[in-house]
Amino acid sequence: MKEYELFIGPQHPGVTGNMMYHLWIDGDTVTKAECNVGYLHRGFEKLMESRSWMQNVPLVCRICVPEPDVNEMAYAMAVEQLMDWEVPERASYIRVIVLELARIAAHLMSIGSYAGSLGIYTLPQWALGDRDYILDIFEQLTGARVYHIYIWPGGVRWDMPEGLPKLIEKTLSYIEKRLKLYDDVLFRNRVFFDRAAGIGVIPKNKAIGWGVTGPNLRACGYGYDTRKLEPYAVYDEIDFKVVKYPELGDFEVISDGCDAYTRMIVRRLEIDQSISIVRQALRKMPEGEHIIKHPNWLKWKAPAGYAFKRVESSKGEYGYFVVSDGSSKPVRIHVRGPSYTHGVNVAETILKGANMADVSQILFSLDVCPPDIER
């Protein structure tokens, strides 16, 4: 059988964005895969070196498009570490609420896109419609639906308006009711069991060595979550469970883990945990200031040093490495996106031997987001 070269190109509904996979196939099986990115490269890190510390805040949130708040959070934490600022407690609670709502929205989008790759087109319509109600909450709180520019180094930009806790509670109860419908359509569907179990397996003993993080790692059986390992904001005061294989709640365990089935079930259960975190944070939130009084931002100078801060996003571990030499502009900011390892090396390895019809499903279950890879 001759080998056939294919490009699953940038213009394709089966890739998770603007990237390309170069495949060599033999009959129906993929024998080799190469990832080709760079279609979204804006040179962020170069742009950030010529702007001051505060001017980078609107730039930073545009790195990860489906979930921009984690970038703002990690950047703000790194700058606060260099400048040695202490964030007021009310601001930390508001940050937790914003991050968890962003996580719910990103997981809904990922579940919807995954179902679309299987051919179950009802779920993208539902999931993206429900995600819009969360974007309405963001619009009331920050003024914009997608790019919020709300988490600043030192706190949050303004306080929560009156009536927002009621709106959040109403949206969360609505989403809880809708999740039962999603279970019937996707997660307890015979099609899902047959098509997703045992597909796209990451070998368990190699997962950490390959740099897999986030829900993909927890689906392999390791219960590692940055919110528990290195707690930031007020996650150490909130009670939540880390969802990992094989504790899959009410859902059946039909495989050995690390496959597309387990990854999607982990994401579905993390939505439940996030809803519980937001409710606890709303109850426990104290009164107080929402931002520290910092000096005029035109004159910020960060002391020299190296700071690394990590945040748990819905896709994995986001890291920011910020280097300063004491001046008003950064020397180097390096962003580590979770899809850097998932989309390039892990995908190239696990696509070998896969069936052609499963390539799209594997990429969506890994939740590869191309702007993370190339910033």
Instruction: Write out the residues near other proteins by the rule CB under 8 A.
Output: 9-13, 17-18, 37-43, 45-47, 50, 58-59, 62, 65-66, 81-82, 109, 112, 124-126, 128-129, 131-132, 135, 145-147, 208-211, 213, 222, 224, 229-230, 305-308, 310, 317, 319, 321, 323, 331-332, 334, 336, 340-341, 344-345, 349, 371, 374
Smaller CB separation from other proteins, 193 or 224: 224
Of 161, 151, 84, nearest in space to 291 by CA: 151
Classify residue 223 by burial, with Cβ atoms within 10 Å: 0-12, 13-18, 19+: middle
Cβ closest to other proteins, residue 135 vs residue 356:
135
What is the nearest approach in angstroms of other proteins to the Cβ of residue 369?
Answer: 11
Instruction: Report, in Å, the least distance between residue 258 CB and other proteins.
Output: 17
Rounded distance, CA 168 to CA 163, Å? Answer: 9
Question: Looking at beta carbons only, is 3 or 49 nearer to other proteins?
Answer: 49
**Of 131 and 263, which CB lies nearer to other proteins in the complex structure?**
131
**The pairing of beta strand 20-26 with beta strand 29-36:** antiparallel
CB of 46 to other proteins, least distance (A): 5
Shortest distance in whole angstroms from residue 52 CB to other proteins: 14
Cβ 34 to other proteins shortest distance, Å = 10
Kindly tell me which of 222 and 240 has the beta carbon lying closer to other proteins.
222
By CB atoms closer than 10 A (0-12, 13-18, 19+), residue 246 is: exposed
Paired with 23 in beta bridges are 6, 33
Locus of tokens 């180094």? 153
Beta-bridge mates of residue 310: 319
SS3 318: strand
State the virtual CA torsion across 348, 317, 59, 102 in degrees, nearest 10. Answer: 110
Q: How far is the CB of 9 from other proteins (least distance, A)?
A: 7
Residue 49 or 289: the one with the smaller Cβ distance to other proteins is 49
Tell me the closest approach of the beta carbon of residue 91 to other proteins, in angstroms.
21
C-alpha triplet 152, 154, 158: angle, nearest 5°: 60
Neighbours of 291 (CB within 10 A): 17
* Nearest distance, CB of residue 313 and other proteins, angstroms: 14
Residue burial 147-167, b: 16+ Cβ < 10 Å; e: rest? bbbbbbbbbbbebbeeebbee
Backbone angles phi, psi at 14, to 5 degrees: -95, 0
CA–centroid distance for 288 within its chain: 30
The alpha carbon of 229 is separated from its chain's Cα centroid by a whole number of angstroms, namely 17
Report d(CA 19, CA 41) in Å as an integer: 11
The minimum distance between CB 348 and other proteins, in angstroms, equals 10
Q: Which is nearer to other proteins, 132 or 252 (CB)?
A: 132
Closest CB to other proteins among 44 and 261?
44
Give the residue with the Cβ less far from other proteins, 60 or 269: 60
Non-local (6+) Cβ contacts of 194 within 8 A are: none
- Please state, in angstroms and rounded to a whole number, the distance separating the CA atoms of residues 216 and 311: 16
